[in-house]
């Protein structure tokens, strides 16, 4: 009806030119009529005109707003800082700038390469929608280095001619290596998932520093958990790799073990420039490595290793801090990471993207339980106690920590505090633990008593597997999903010695509160303390001065490598002031 009325009004108040002429002539013919009649005619026309304007103007304004801002969409979204690009729309300068910013966030500030298949790995380009933009920015030098490495891996990866040529040395049985176009470091599948995430990142950094191609032993579940990180190539070691069946038997007494050969004087690092080397060496860098194995962290041994085409590495240590103590690597590390504490933060997010199966676990849980909260708190609980839990002293430690550090609001046990708001501020607490008892205690506390602030607290725990089952795919899928969910927190509490917590803090760029390791089943005092940096701890570093050939406290050599908060003999990278 409105449009019919508008058409009639247009006809009435927008006549053609002949109609205007006729109207003038008609009005002249009626001049002798009384003056009151003329006024009535004018008043009637003014009234109709005003009424028409009241109908037409809102419609015109509405259409104007729609065409000025066609992309406005205020539908609810559970994603943090989620923004949608519309490449088909005509963009203003401000819109173009905003979309460029979103595209940059999607690539994590330039860390990620553009153009990879999104459907095969949804997490790679969707992760930015679930977390706040990182305050740690990758250096332009690091971004350039990553792009160059991607080219190297594409040229030298599995199936390429340089790779096949390098394989010939392993198949030939020759005792002495000849120079190859591409050199490699092979990471052996070993230890629990948290350790694997940290060590494959450390191995990749070593590959960057030594100009090698990193190949990853897929083991039982690496392909099930992680997407391919590099464009148009694979980082997974082919199953027909000549040494593949020997991996399980490699140890510190293997004939090609780097440390063993040094011990037996079969290698001489001091004569590295003239020393003949074998086609491959096994690097034993696990927690049980000996003094000869640890010489890997000496400059002269790196000169020797640089001549070996294939390095096979087994480790359960995040050995990055000791790379800073190798003089030939130090300057390059400073250029790659001006913010020294963001090494794993950048490399982990660049390399390790959850597969679609794991990403489904992450996003479904996040959207169902965490997305709508005003604040998200992560609490990661790992105990090293004997016997079944939950343990009362650990439960007391958790409550003491969150109370002292004011991570959660206090409860009113007199039940006198009642919020008057229909929509009080909400806090979602994500608890990860092998035991359900700790989250049950928190859930009962915040259900049975109101908070003194009127805030509501929800406690959520995705799984409680009872004990670690690193050999099971589904267990590791859940573990990877929970590490990632913890990294989406606003504040984080982790457990001492736990690589699970290290992964979460590193991915999230979060400086956590660490629950100190209890002794003699007693609650530590203080219960927890704030971490110095977001970097993981190297649990078993060497204490050796390569130049002086004597023992030394490597936690006191440079200001940016210090002993860890949770393991007094461990090393971690912190915010040092020393610059090149």
Domains of the chain, CATH where assigned: 118-351 (no CATH), 357-573 (3.40.50.11350)
**How far apart are the C-alpha atoms of 316 and 197, rounded to whole Å?**
10
Is residue 19's pLDDT more than 60?
Answer: no
pLDDT digits (tens, 9 = 90+) for 228-250: 999 999 999 999 999 999 999 99
Q: What percent of the chain has pLDDT over 70?
A: 80
Q: Counting beta carbons within 10 angstroms of the beta carbon of residue 90, is it exposed (0 to 12), middle (13 to 18) or buried (19 or more)?
A: exposed
Q: Which one has a higher pLDDT value, 30 or 518?
A: 518
- The residues facing 378 across adjacent strands are 430, 492
381 contacts: CB under 8 Å, gap ≥ 6: 394, 398, 431, 432, 433, 435, 438, 495, 515
| Cα torsion 237, 243, 245, 249: sign | negative
Q: What is the pLDDT of residues 330-382, one digit of tens each?
A: 999 999 999 999 999 999 999 999 999 999 999 999 999 999 999 999 999 99
pLDDT mean over 273-292 = 93
Residue position matching structure tokens 């859930």: 443
pLDDT at 101: 63
**Each residue's pLDDT tens digit, 88-135:** 333 344 555 556 566 779 999 999 999 999 999 999 999 999 999 999
Which pLDDT belongs to residue 377? 98
**pLDDT (0 to 100) of residue 290:** 97
Classify 514 as helix, strand or coil.
strand
> Which pLDDT score is estimated for 464?
85
pTM reported for the whole predicted model:
0.83
What is the pLDDT, as a whole number, of residue 274?
72
Quote the tokens at residue 6.
């508008």
Least confident span in 145-159, 261-275, 294-308, 485-499: 261-275
């Amino acid at each position: 009806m409105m449009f019919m009325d508008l058409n009639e009004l247009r006809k009435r108040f927008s006549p053609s030119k002949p109609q205007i002429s006729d109207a003038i002539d008609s009005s002249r013919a009626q001049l002798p009529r009384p003056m009151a009649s003329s006024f009535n005619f004018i008043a009637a026309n003014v009234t109709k005109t005003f009424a028409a304007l009241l109908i037409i103007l809102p419609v015109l304004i509405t259409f104007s707003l729609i065409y000025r801002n066609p992309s406005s969409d205020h539908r609810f979204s559970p994603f943090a800082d989620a923004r949608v690009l519309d490449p088909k729309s005509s963009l203003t300068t401000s819109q173009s700038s905003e979309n460029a910013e979103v595209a940059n966030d999607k690539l994590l500030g330039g860390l990620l390469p553009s153009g990879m298949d999104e459907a095969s790995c949804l997490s790679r380009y969707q992760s930015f929608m679930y977390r706040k933009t990182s305050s740690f920015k990758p250096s332009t030098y690091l971004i350039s280095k990553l792009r160059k490495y991607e080219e190297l891996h594409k040229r030298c990866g599995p199936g390429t001619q340089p790779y096949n040529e390098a394989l010939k040395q392993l198949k030939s049985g020759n005792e002495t290596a000849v120079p190859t176009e591409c050199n490699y470091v092979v990471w052996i599948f070993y230890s629990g998932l948290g350790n694997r995430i940290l060590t494959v990142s450390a191995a990749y950094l070593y590959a960057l520093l030594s100009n090698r191609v990193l190949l990853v032993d897929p083991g039982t579940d690496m392909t099930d958990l992680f997407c391919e990180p590099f464009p148009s190539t694979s980082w997974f070691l082919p199953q027909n790799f000549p040494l593949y069946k020997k991996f399980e038997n490699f140890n510190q007494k293997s004939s090609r073990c780097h440390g063993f050969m040094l011990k037996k004087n079969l290698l001489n690092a001091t004569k590295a420039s003239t020393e003949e080397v074998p086609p491959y060496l096994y690097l034993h860098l696990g927690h049980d490595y000996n003094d000869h194995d640890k010489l890997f962290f000496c400059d002269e041994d790196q000169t020797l290793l640089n001549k070996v085409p294939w390095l096979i590495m087994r480790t359960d240590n995040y050995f990055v801090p000791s790379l800073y103590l190798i003089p030939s690597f130090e300057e390059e590390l400073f250029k790659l990471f001006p913010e020294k504490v963001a090494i794993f933060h950048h490399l982990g997010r660049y390399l390790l993207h959850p597969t679609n199966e794991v990403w489904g676990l992450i996003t479904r849980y996040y959207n169902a339980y965490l997305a709508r909260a005003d604040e998200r708190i992560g609490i990661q609980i790992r105990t090293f106690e004997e016997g079944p839990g939950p343990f009362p002293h650990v439960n007391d430690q958790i409550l003491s920590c969150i109370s002292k550090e004011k991570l959660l609001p206090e409860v009113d046990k007199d039940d006198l505090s009642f919020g008057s708001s229909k929509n009080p501020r909400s806090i979602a607490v994500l608890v990860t633990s092998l035991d359900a008892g700790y989250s049950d205690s928190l859930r009962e506390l915040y259900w049975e008593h109101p908070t003194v602030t009127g805030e509501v607290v929800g406690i959520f725990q995705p799984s409680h597997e009872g004990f670690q089952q690193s050999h099971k795919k589904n267990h590791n899928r859940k573990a990877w999903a929970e590490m990632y969910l913890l990294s989406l927190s606003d504040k984080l509490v982790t457990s001492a010695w736990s690589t699970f917590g290290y992964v979460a803090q590193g991915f999230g760029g979060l400086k956590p509160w660490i629950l100190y390791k209890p002794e003699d089943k007693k609650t530590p005092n203080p219960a927890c303390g704030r971490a110095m940096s977001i970097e993981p701890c190297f649990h078993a570093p060497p204490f050796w001065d390569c130049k002086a050939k004597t023992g030394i406290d490597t936690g006191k050599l440079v200001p940016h490598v210090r002993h860890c908060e949770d393991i007094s003999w461990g090393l971690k990278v912190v915010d040092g002031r020393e610059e090149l």
